[in-house]
Homo-oligomer: A and B are copies of this chain.
């Protein structure tokens, strides 16, 4: 079972590492971190330097495609970055094609989400709809083999439900216990429908400014 996490400069670290942590604990999983080029690849903070060992061409037909998000996805989707072609080429052969956060926009650009329910980071619902998807505020949305997760941290929930689907509930429970995933968020406001309006507006404004900078 080859599980490919597709990366690009500017990805958001937890989007990738949440699923990575869960999926590397799954039985018989060959997890591969791949990108357009080998070598140095930096996250959206410019701080986390990964040394990528596999190109997209070398991981052309994985069983599971995982696409993390990041602010830069808007530009990658617009400019049809190599990751979009990789997703489009891999999807017809995959068992699952999945995204975390605005990784969904890359699935959208690859033509996979047209007519489907899907989710993404709550700041990107309108952009998701541009690809013909119906955005919905849910943690993980399943449409056949296309699974999309909400923002950043939702990749952990995506991966655990994926493991349960692949290997059964006991394996998923064991991994959940191994990573002691008994979350206790300090506030009950981690989703747009739950957050105070002023916090929501603040985060939306900051995000929109970052998106504008990336598209400029």
Interface residues of A (CB under 8 A from B): 12-14, 17-18, 20-21, 24, 31-33, 40, 45, 47-53, 101, 121-122, 139-140, 150-154, 156-157, 160-161, 164, 169-170, 172-174, 176-187, 189-192, 194-196, 199-200, 202-203, 206-207
Contacts and interface: CB of A to CB of B under 8 A. Distances in A.
Nearest to A188: B182
A49 B45 contact: no
A64 to B, nearest CB: 15
B152 A173 contact: no
B199 A173 contact: yes
Tell me the number of copies of this protein. 2
Contacts of A101: 180
List the 9 closest A-B pairs by CB distance, nearest first: A151-B180, A182-B190, A49-B51, A14-B21, A183-B183, A182-B191, A152-B179, A17-B17, A181-B190
Contacts of A196: 173
Nearest to A164: B186
Contacts of A13: 17, 20-21
